[in-house]
Structure 1
Amino acid sequence: MTPPTFSRTRLGLLLGFIGVLIFGGTLPATRIAVSAIDPIALTSLRTLIAGLCSLILLVVLRRPLPPRALWPQLVITMICVAILFPFLMSVGVQTVDASHGGVVFGIMPIATALVAVMITHERPRPLFWIASFAGAALVIAFALRQGGGELSAGDLFLLAAVVVSGIGYAFSGRLTAQMPGWEVISWVLVIALPLSIPAAALTMPADITHIPLKPWLGLLYVALFSQWIGFFAWNAGMAMGGIARVSQVQLLQPFVVFALAAVFNDETITPQIVLFAAGVVATVAISTRTRGRKAPDALVIPGRVEDANPESRDSGFALTRAPE
């Protein structure tokens, strides 16, 4: 029985890493897209495309409507992860590099953990709070250093995106106790269609023929992969490899952002950026391991995928992705 278990774990780690690669491309792709597409239009089109694909999948698989009691949480999640987060991120990367955003977004798991702690009324260990505030302080120090002693408008928008994502992913985690993670994100996007359809129609660029190919490819990437498909690989990986083990793969995400930003955005990755990112990753790792065990209704982000492996409970809280 050992070889199949080992094989399943390896596959879980591979799928988790694929999810990290997908989510790591979000900032670079958004940076490319907003070079020619307005942030409001980008947000509307991104949510519309992913929502239509989600609707088709749910209809083909004949998935029933979620229970009425879950709809308020679905709406909160929709507002945060399908509207506010992509919009705030799009506005932010208009004025700061994708690699800069990669450092700021490094504390997203901490933001989600803090929201989860408030929702579940947990009492984490003191080291959790120390690591969480240290991570936030590092990000602010980085932004101040990069901005010449003051926070830029782009930093403020990115920090706001971190806050709303923390709220959205925490509620999403609670929902995935009731249904698979891929189904949660799909219903969230379908619920957004009554807003994304008219918004996309109103904000569609007047002359789309003048928009280069690269921004369109950036839009398709964030719509299909960042907003939707990435969750499939990530959730499946967590289910196969165990939450504690696979969630640690996400610590690589800032460095994935750096690599992709250097290749696709021609950004220069300085030693200072890498050092700050390493410091943020360290605080995330400490806060994750010191939060304590989950309460009975605790949250797993981005999908509730607990398995029979006790190790899947060790971290107490799976790191969120990115969506993201």
Structure 2
Amino acid sequence: MKLDVKDETLGMWLGVLGVAMFAVTLPMTRLATGSQDAPQLSPWFVTLGRAALAGVLSAVFLLVTRSPRPAPHQWKPLGMAVLGNAIGFPLLLAYALRVVTASHAAVVTALLPLVTAAVAAWVLHQRARLGFWLCAIAGSLLVVVFSVLRASQSGHGFGFEWADLLLVGAVIAASLGYIYGAQVTPSLGAERVICWVCVMALPVTLPATLALWPTQPVATASWLGFVYVGMFSMWIGFFAWYRGLALGGALRVSQTQLLQPFLSILASIPILGEPLDVVTLGFAVAVVATVVIGKRLSQPPAAPAAAPLPAAAVGPGRSR
């Protein structure tokens, strides 16, 4: 039992590490794509190219480590991870961001931890106390309120758009990819799961990347941003993320995603020079509290201690 507790703690920290790597994706993607006034790499090129880069690195990794091919029953979960994480999520997100702002999209994608937990309960049959679900909902609401406030402060506002359906689809796709990837992590290993996912996507991502290769000059910082999202966001980050989901329980570790918007903002300070305000810190502390409390409430109730034997039951020749 003690080993299980250690594994769960390690899983939570690996989940935080994976989320931290994913969080830097936002400022690094901004570096890669540039702004409307000074565009750099095409968003389509960044989306498909990062998966292609991760796929090439994955092929090398699998060859060097002489990794065996997945078993027949493992191809389905891997295929679901491909559809969810390598194609579905970035594709739906790219279409949605043609219509709505990034601030608007953040409001909907803030529901990712809660949806991931729900998918874990459905696919992996993981259960938790009511208190865990209340904390998960509270944390999600905090992130949504925070995102709405930031959108309002930026003058974007928030109203329903048909692209919200695409964003909901992106959230569901990412959640399914996370959970189905975690399903085969214990048998394949976290590294091999994401590597096979990226290699399986190569027939789509590699030709598309070559077709979209930029012809205009691109700033060095933009290429560095592209390399980051290809190596860390799409590849190395999943090493920690899938391992964390498998060790700590996908339902519980998924709640570390609540930290992602705030870690993205912190990363944007040195990378993009964006300011940090007190409201952001306050919401971050509140969200961290829901993650910590939720983790504790997810533990099964302790078994009641055995009642001591009555004195009469301890006769000669017996000992306590």
- TM-score (normalizing by structure 1): 0.71
Change (3 A) 1:151 1:204: farther
- Distance in structure 2 (CA, Å) of the matches to 1:190 and 1:204: 20
Match of 1:203 in 2: 212
Does residue 76 in structure 1 map to residue 80 in structure 2? yes
Which of the residues 202, 222, 227 maps onto 2:229? 222
- Distance in structure 2 (CA, Å) of the matches to 1:291 and 1:118: 16
Match of 2:102 in 1: 96
SS at structure 2 position matched to 1:192: helix
Query: Given residue 184 of structure 1, which amino acid in structure 2 is its aligned partner?
Result: V
SS at structure 1 position matched to 2:128: coil
Does residue 289 in structure 1 map to residue 296 in structure 2? yes
Question: Which runs of 5 or more residues in structure 1 are unaligned?
Answer: 1-9, 294-324
- Distance in structure 2 (CA, Å) of the matches to 1:289 and 1:171: 25
Match of 1:25 in 2: 24
- Tell whether the 8 Å contact from 1:110 to 1:284 is kept in structure 2 after alignment: no
Which of the residues 66, 70, 77 maps onto 2:70? 66
- Distance in structure 2 (CA, Å) of the matches to 1:27 and 1:183: 26
Does residue 173 in structure 1 map to residue 188 in structure 2? no
Question: Which runs of 5 or more residues in structure 2 are unaligned?
Answer: 1-8, 35-39, 301-320
Match of 1:269 in 2: 276
Q: Which moved more, 1:282-291 or 1:267-276?
A: 282-291
SS at structure 1 position matched to 2:274: coil
Instruction: Give the C-alpha shift of residue 177 in structure 1.
Output: 2.4
- Tell whether the 8 Å contact from 1:106 to 1:280 is kept in structure 2 after alignment: no
Instruction: Give the C-alpha shift of residue 218 in structure 1.
Output: 0.8
Match of 1:150 in 2: 158
Query: Given residue 268 of structure 2, which amino acid in structure 1 is its aligned partner?
Result: A
Match of 1:40 in 2: 44
Instruction: Give the C-alpha shift of residue 163 in structure 1.
Output: 3.2
SS at structure 2 position matched to 1:27: helix
SS at structure 2 position matched to 1:204: coil
Which of the residues 181, 184, 203 maps onto 2:193? 184
Q: Which moved more, 1:212-221 or 1:18-27?
A: 18-27
Instruction: Give the C-alpha shift of residue 45 in structure 1.
Output: 0.5
- Distance in structure 2 (CA, Å) of the matches to 1:258 and 1:117: 30
- Distance in structure 1 (CA, Å) of the matches to 2:278 and 2:64: 49
Instruction: Give the C-alpha shift of residue 184 in structure 1.
Output: 0.2
Match of 1:110 in 2: 114
- Tell whether the 8 Å contact from 1:54 to 1:186 is kept in structure 2 after alignment: yes
Change (3 A) 1:91 1:227: same
Q: Percent identity?
A: 36
Instruction: Give the C-alpha shift of residue 133 in structure 1.
Output: 2.2
The Cα offsets for residues 222-254 of structure 1, whole Å up to 9 and x where unpaired, read as 101111123335667899xx749xx69877655
The Cα offsets for residues 172-213 of structure 1, whole Å up to 9 and x where unpaired, read as 1111122100100000000001111222133223x1x42222
Change (3 A) 1:161 1:214: farther
Change (3 A) 1:75 1:139: same
Aligned CA RMSD, in angstroms, stands at 3.8
- Tell whether the 8 Å contact from 2:77 to 2:180 is kept in structure 1 after alignment: yes
Query: Given residue 136 of structure 2, which amino acid in structure 1 is its aligned partner?
Result: S
Does residue 131 in structure 1 map to residue 135 in structure 2? yes
- Tell whether the 8 Å contact from 2:269 to 2:275 is kept in structure 1 after alignment: yes
SS at structure 2 position matched to 1:124: coil
Instruction: Give the C-alpha shift of residue 82 in structure 1.
Output: 1.1
Which of the residues 37, 49, 56 maps onto 2:60? 56
Instruction: Give the C-alpha shift of residue 78 in structure 1.
Output: 0.7
Query: Given residue 23 of structure 1, which amino acid in structure 2 is its aligned partner?
Result: F
Query: Given residue 26 of structure 2, which amino acid in structure 1 is its aligned partner?
Result: L
Query: Given residue 210 of structure 1, which amino acid in structure 2 is its aligned partner?
Result: P
- Distance in structure 2 (CA, Å) of the matches to 1:134 and 1:126: 12
SS at structure 1 position matched to 2:186: coil
- Tell whether the 8 Å contact from 2:181 to 2:242 is kept in structure 1 after alignment: no
- Distance in structure 1 (CA, Å) of the matches to 2:67 and 2:219: 38
Which structure would you say has the larger Rg? 2
- Distance in structure 2 (CA, Å) of the matches to 1:37 and 1:152: 29
Change (3 A) 1:132 1:256: closer
SS at structure 1 position matched to 2:187: coil
- TM-score (normalizing by structure 2): 0.71
The Cα offsets for residues 114-147 of structure 1, whole Å up to 9 and x where unpaired, read as 1100113444322222222223322332333333
Change (3 A) 1:158 1:222: farther
The Cα offsets for residues 258-315 of structure 1, whole Å up to 9 and x where unpaired, read as 221011122222222333333333333333433455xxxxxxxxxxxxxxxxxxxxxx
- Distance in structure 1 (CA, Å) of the matches to 2:121 and 2:181: 14
Query: Given residue 49 of structure 1, which amino acid in structure 2 is its aligned partner?
Result: L
